[in-house]
Structure 1
């Protein structure tokens, strides 16, 4: 009976975690939005940025990034989260021609569900 309870609880936790979104959407001000993948980044991790509808995209910046992230012609770019950054919500600003789109994203020390489910060679 105990094995059944543990199995049911484990299945429920995994199902709930997989139902959580894998892509984070920064809360943007003004027109458009900034999308960050993965949704909750860890210190030292590279993240993918997307600013749909960004006309003449230039770059994106955040106090959590190691530097400015250039955006390509479609408004996509890659940034690296600083290793020493503390878990919190951080602002991102993307320059799109004469307009600036801003939003926020989360830095967390925790692992995302897909990373927890990936087998490790460390065992």
Structure 2
């Protein structure tokens, strides 16, 4: 029963983390670039959202992106590079004559192992075996 409770709580924590938008820098009119999910792994597809994006050519760029993200309306999807390292990467969106900024966090680690009980967590098992 305890394992089930831990699993349910762990799943809820992971889901909440994936649903949260990335912190970003606001543009001149208070809007900013959001990247969803907040923390992404190399090679995954992310959604770029720019609430204030209207008119003209619309695209978002980042060193973490495999290519420029074409925005349809106020959002678009793009794949991250497969070999990108962990870290925080700036994201810049161009909408007509305006520029918006935000950040994307890339992680090469899975977040769920730390939520598992010691016997099921390979990292904890290795650490306990080293003592």
Gaps of 5+ in 1: 114-123
Give the structure with the higher percent strand.
1
Aligned counterparts of 2:16 and 2:67: Cα–Cα separation in 1: 33
Give the structure with the higher percent helix.
2
Q: Please report the RMSD computed on the Cα atoms of aligned residues, expressed in angstroms.
A: 2.2
Query: How far 1:29 sits from its partner (Å)?
Result: 3.1
1:53 aligns with 2:52: yes
Query: How far 1:5 sits from its partner (Å)?
Result: 5.5
The count of residues paired between Structure 1 and Structure 2 equals: 109
Residues 69/19 of structure 1: CA separation in 2 closer, same or farther (3 Å cut): closer
Matches within 5 A, 1:38-117: 38-56=37-55, 58-72=58-72, 74-111=73-110
> 8 Å contact 2:88–2:105 — kept in the other structure?
yes
Aligned counterparts of 2:18 and 2:43: Cα–Cα separation in 1: 21
Partner residue, 1:121? none
Query: How far 1:96 sits from its partner (Å)?
Result: 1.2
TM-score using structure 1 length = 0.73
Aligned counterparts of 1:16 and 1:70: Cα–Cα separation in 2: 31
TM-score using structure 2 length = 0.69
Residues 107/98 of structure 1: CA separation in 2 closer, same or farther (3 Å cut): same
Aligned counterparts of 2:35 and 2:111: Cα–Cα separation in 1: 14
Gaps of 5+ in 2: 113-131
Aligned counterparts of 1:16 and 1:78: Cα–Cα separation in 2: 25
Aligned counterparts of 1:94 and 1:7: Cα–Cα separation in 2: 43
Aligned counterparts of 1:19 and 1:66: Cα–Cα separation in 2: 26
